[in-house]
Structure 1
Amino acid sequence: MKALILYYSTYGHIEALANAVAAGVREVNGTEVVIKRVPELMPEEVAKQAGAKLDQDAPIATVEELPDYDAIIIGTPTRYGRMAAQMANFLDQTGGLWFQNALVGKVGSVFTSTASQHGGQETTLISTIVNLMHLGMTIVGTPYTEKRLTLIDEVMGGTPYGASTIAGGDGSRMPSDNEIEIAKSQGRHVASVAMALKKGSA
């Protein structure tokens, strides 16, 4: 079972969650995971002025390679309660794959980051999931078997629609231990479901 973690990260928060999701995928025997990111749309000078993290290890993905994976787990920060333009631009190029039914039956999942506790995590996750449903993907979230989703003793992300983190208004807060563990749990769950579907269709 081959999984792609496909993300966009301006300041490194989604990048950190992407690595955690990938770690969870690797815990499932028989899996291979690849981490890639979508292209930056900001000119380099503008990105530098904005303090964007430009030294990310993940290579740039192409739309054409998406059918090579059994599961695609998308990470995008929130922009006014929806996915970032960089991710939207990438997904907008999948029309040819839609026409060919190339992603039908693949497993899809989403994770996100917001500046504030109520900054649009769930709307971003759900609206991104809608894109994957149009492509015919099988949606997998983060079920409440992950007990950290019910914790209320600290401010943190984490939803049944996918993992999430809170970056803080100035971006200084990186994912907490609980948020990292929820992301790992999502990776494990997605990998397990994708593996079961792949075996069932063999």
Structure 2
Amino acid sequence: MKVLIVYYSMYGHIHKMAQAIAEGVRLVEGAEAELRRVPETLPESVLEKMGATAAQKQQAQVPICTVDELGAADAVIFGTPTRFGNMCGQMRQFLDATGGLWVKGGLVGKPGSVFASSNTQHGGQESTILSFHTTLLHQGMVIVGLPYTFQGQMTSTEITGCSPYGASTIAGGDGSRFPSENELAGARFQGEHVAKIAKKLAA
């Protein structure tokens, strides 16, 4: 059973969360986690000016996702940074190319889940995930969130991401804050949760 983790990460925050998601998936017997990046749309010169080249090089070993891979997976977990309360343009462009899958019903009945990051605590993590769900519903996917059985989202002792909609992290104003252990735990929980549901549906 294959769970595809498809993400975009400019500075590495979502990449780190994606790795934790994969760890969670692999906790389920028979579940295989595969990481994929969506294609970059910005030229190298722009990425360099934005200070993103180092993070991009760290992810170079992760293959670029193809639309066909989505259809071949048993479940898909998407990761995106927040751009004004919505998914990033790179992810939007990739999803806009999935019309062929939609016509064939290639994703109907498959679990779909989303995790995100934002710069600030109230920078749109929840709206990004919720607006992402619209695309998954059009594809006929079964939406899976992060249930409150993940106790970490009940904490009030620290500033943290994660909500019932999905795992999330806060990058901080200058991007120097990377996912906390609580946020990574939420990502692992989500990965395992999606894999368990995918396994049940596959059976």
CA displacement 1:113-138 (0-9 Å, x = unmatched): 00000000110000001101100000
Q: Does 1:12 align with 2:12?
A: yes
Take 2:195 and 2:40, find their aligned partners in 1: how far apart are those partners?
Answer: 28
- Gaps (5+ residues) in structure 1? none
CA displacement 1:93-145 (0-9 Å, x = unmatched): 00111011111011100000000000001100000011011000001101000
What is the aligned partner in structure 2 of residue 28 from structure 1? 28
Please identify, of 175-184 and 56-65, the stretch whose mean Cα deviation from structure 2 is larger: 56-65
Offset of residue 146 of structure 1: 0.4
What is the aligned partner in structure 1 of residue 111 from structure 2? 107
Secondary structure at the residue paired with 1:90? helix
Secondary structure at the residue paired with 1:34? strand
Offset of residue 9 of structure 1: 0.2
Take 2:26 and 2:131, find their aligned partners in 1: how far apart are those partners?
Answer: 27
Moved over 2 A (4+): none
Secondary structure at the residue paired with 2:169? strand
CA displacement 1:34-75 (0-9 Å, x = unmatched): 000001111011101101121113110011221110000000
Q: Does 1:123 align with 2:148?
A: no
Take 2:164 and 2:128, find their aligned partners in 1: how far apart are those partners?
Answer: 13
Take 1:51 and 1:159, find their aligned partners in 2: how far apart are those partners?
Answer: 29
Structure 1: which amino acid aligns with 2:11?
Y
Q: Taking structure 1 as the reference length, what is the TM-score of the superposition?
A: 0.97
Take 1:95 and 1:15, find their aligned partners in 2: how far apart are those partners?
Answer: 26
Q: CA RMSD in A?
A: 0.6
Take 2:160 and 2:132, find their aligned partners in 1: how far apart are those partners?
Answer: 21
Offset of residue 20 of structure 1: 0.2
What is the aligned partner in structure 1 of residue 81 from structure 2? 77
Structure 2: which amino acid aligns with 1:41?
T
Taking only the aligned residue pairs, the percentage that are identical comes to: 56
- Gaps (5+ residues) in structure 2? none
Q: Taking structure 2 as the reference length, what is the TM-score of the superposition?
A: 0.97
Q: Does 1:181 align with 2:188?
A: no
What is the aligned partner in structure 2 of residue 171 from structure 1? 175
CA displacement 1:126-184 (0-9 Å, x = unmatched): 00011011000001101000000110100010111000000001100000000000000
CA displacement 1:4-44 (0-9 Å, x = unmatched): 00000000000000000000000000111100000111101
